[in-house]
């Protein structure tokens, strides 16, 4: 049996490269937003208010419940978390498009 190697855990567990990319993006955004919330050193109630979400929703984010957040929902949280988000797209040769 040959050993398979993957660039990320998402490549190993998702069915398609597109699904793996979506999960990689979501996990990165979740980690950054959760880290920012922890930096604020305020209560979850205050942090949820700052982000414009409910406290249970914030708890899901802080506990890494990735399947409860779409990429769109996480992108919408970057502004209130004081992040500037940019998109860079490359073709398969690594050339920016």
Q: Which residues contact 91 (CB under 8 A, 6 or more apart)?
A: 97
Neighbouring C-beta atoms of residue 37, cutoff 10 Å: 21
Per-residue confidence (pLDDT) for residue 94, from 0 to 100: 72
- Residue 57: name the closest of 67, 46, 41, 68 by CA: 68
Q: Is the pLDDT of residue 8 over 90?
A: no
Q: Is the pLDDT of residue 30 over 60?
A: yes
pLDDT digits (tens, 9 = 90+) for 64-94: 999 999 999 999 999 999 999 998 888 887 7
pTM of the complete model: 0.82
Per-residue confidence (pLDDT) for residue 9, from 0 to 100: 64
Are 71 and 25 in contact by the 8 Å Cβ rule? The answer is: yes
d(C-alpha 97, C-alpha 92), whole Å: 10
Q: Is the pLDDT of residue 28 over 80?
A: yes
Per-residue confidence (pLDDT) for residue 53, from 0 to 100: 98
Per-residue confidence (pLDDT) for residue 35, from 0 to 100: 98
Cβ-count burial 68-83 (b if 16+ within 10 Å, e if not): ebeeeebeebbeebee
* Domains within the chain, CATH numbers bracketed: 9-78 (1.10.260.40)
């Amino acid at each position: 049996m040959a050993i398979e190697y993957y660039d990320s855990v998402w490549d190993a567990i998702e069915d398609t490269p597109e699904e793996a990319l979506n999960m990689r993006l979501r996990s990165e955004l979740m980690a950054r937003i959760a880290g920012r919330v922890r930096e604020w050193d305020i209560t979850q109630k205050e942090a949820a208010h700052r982000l414009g979400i409910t406290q249970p929703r914030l708890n899901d984010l802080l506990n890494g419940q990735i399947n409860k957040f779409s990429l769109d929902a996480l992108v919408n949280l970057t502004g209130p978390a004081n992040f500037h988000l940019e998109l860079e797209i490359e073709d398969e040769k690594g050339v920016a498009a």
